[in-house]
């Protein structure tokens, strides 16, 4: 600026017959233009921008295919819940997602574009349900030692210990399926001790499989099982709700430990101080009237995954028939289902302390019902 003013003064002092006033005005205009040439306006005339954002699942909702609207424009979320609007001018926009059967928190976001692209804060999608969906916990894949250590209590049938790798992550029920959850889907409750927050019991395998399939249908997931009379086939690629395999059950029950409980070693004392904190079993399951019975879920301390009642209360059905153990490392093992009997794991309210360990798994008939057997749901990620 200083150099331009100096030039102006020199020119004004010259007398070469030109109109001095006109020269002065022209040069002053040049100075102004030169001084402003290094600055830019907040946005070029006609410039357009984008609004991007994401919708997250509250639990296991499908966040693909959600319609998002601003003014008269719409966008649709991809498989990750992301969406984009393009070609937008400066201004304030109200962003609103919508999908049948879902609510969103918050319902809308207000976003302002001011010379730059804008990002909408995340929405959280929740499913509007007329039924109860068990709360699920994320379980990461990994490798663990399956079976009982020789020096600890546990069935000899579940030895020797061997390395097992679970290659796919899981969603696992935070607790055993309750009577309220089951009845909301199936319309009935066969349990002997009626109470909405106690585990559902007295189910045959066919009834359990039908519940898994019906819940999958309601959630828009691929059914895990094909049920034809007494024949049950498992689609291992399906995304729907199902029973765990014996290895999956032990993996989620152990939650990283090699001891015979997830809270330390059960030495067989009755009552056992470790079991008192984590399980309902023979020594602590008496009702006020002196009768043994199951209890409401989630009252005992959870394991490191956040799962309650993996030991005691009700034993949990696995979709697998027993296969003898060996020392050979295994990957995603499954011994198959023979149709006559099935593994149940974790013990129940009437188990003695001496037998309430992770490495015990009796067999039960698939046709019978039991007031001491229930289920914990899983889903493959």
Domain ranges of the chain: 49-127, 136-380
**Predicted confidence band of residue 368 (pLDDT cuts 50, 70, 90):** low
Residues 62-72: what's their mean pLDDT? 94
pLDDT value for 11: 37
CATH topology of domain 49-127: Immunoglobulin-like (2.60.40)
pLDDT at 361 over 80: no
Between strands 73-76 and 67-70, the pairing is antiparallel
Residues 337-357: what's their mean pLDDT? 91
Residues 14-41: what's their mean pLDDT? 42
Token readout for 92 is 């304030």
Quote the CA–CA distance of 141 and 167 in Å, as a whole number. Answer: 5
Quote the CA–CA distance of 85 and 108 in Å, as a whole number. Answer: 15
pLDDT at 355 over 80: yes
pLDDT tens digits, 72-88: 899 999 999 999 999 99
pLDDT at 246 over 50: yes
**Averaged pLDDT score across all residues of the chain:** 87
pLDDT value for 43: 54
Quote the CA–CA distance of 50 and 82 in Å, as a whole number. Answer: 13
Quote the CA–CA distance of 279 and 37 in Å, as a whole number. Answer: 77
pLDDT value for 34: 41
Token readout for 39 is 């600055």
Token readout for 108 is 């809308």
Task: Note the pTM of the prediction, 2 decimals.
Answer: 0.72
Residues 181-191: what's their mean pLDDT? 97
User: Domain 136-380 - what CATH class?
Assistant: alpha beta
Residues 265-279: what's their mean pLDDT? 92
């Amino acid at each position: 600026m200083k150099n331009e003013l100096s030039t102006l003064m020199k020119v004004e002092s010259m007398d070469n017959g030109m109109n001095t006033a006109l020269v002065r005005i022209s040069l002053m205009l040049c100075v102004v233009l030169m001084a402003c040439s290094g600055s830019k306006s907040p946005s070029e005339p006609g410039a357009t921008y984008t609004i991007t954002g994401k919708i997250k699942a509250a639990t296991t909702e499908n966040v693909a295919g959600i319609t998002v609207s601003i003014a008269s424009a719409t966008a649709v979320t991809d498989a990750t819940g992301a969406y984009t609007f393009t070609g937008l001018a400066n201004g304030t926009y109200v962003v609103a997602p919508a999908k049948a059967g879902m609510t969103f928190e918050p319902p809308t976001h207000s976003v302002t574009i001011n010379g730059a692209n804008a990002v909408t804060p995340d929405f959280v999608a929740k499913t509007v349900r007329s039924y109860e969906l068990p709360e699920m916990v994320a379980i990461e894949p990994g490798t663990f030692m399956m079976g009982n250590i020789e020096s600890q209590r546990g069935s000899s049938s579940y030895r020797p210990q061997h390395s097992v790798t679970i290659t796919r992550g899981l969603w696992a029920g935070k607790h055993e399926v309750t009577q309220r959850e089951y009845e909301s889907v199936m319309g009935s409750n066969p349990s002997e001790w009626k109470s909405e927050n106690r585990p559902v019991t007295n189910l045959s395998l066919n009834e359990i499989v039908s519940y898994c399939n019906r819940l999958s249908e309601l959630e828009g997931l691929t059914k895990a099982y094909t049920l034809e009379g007494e024949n049950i086939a498992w689609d291992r690629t399906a995304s729907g709700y199902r029973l765990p395999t014996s290895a999956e059950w032990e993996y989620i029950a152990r939650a990283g430990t090699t001891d015979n409980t997830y809270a330390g070693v059960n030495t067989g004392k009755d009552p056992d101080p470790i079991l008192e904190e984590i399980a309902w079993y023979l020594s602590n399951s008496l009702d006020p009237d002196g009768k043994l019975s199951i209890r409401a879920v989630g009252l005992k301390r959870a394991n490191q995954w956040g799962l309650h009642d993996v030991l005691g209360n009700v034993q949990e059905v696995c979709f697998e028939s027993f296969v003898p153990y060996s020392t050979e490392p295994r990957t995603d093992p499954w011994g198959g289902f023979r149709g006559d009997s099935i593994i149940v794991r974790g013990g129940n309210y009437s188990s003695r302390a001496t037998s309430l360990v992770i490495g015990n798994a009796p067999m039960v008939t698939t046709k019978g019902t039991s007031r001491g057997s229930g289920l914990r749901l899983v889903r493959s990620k």
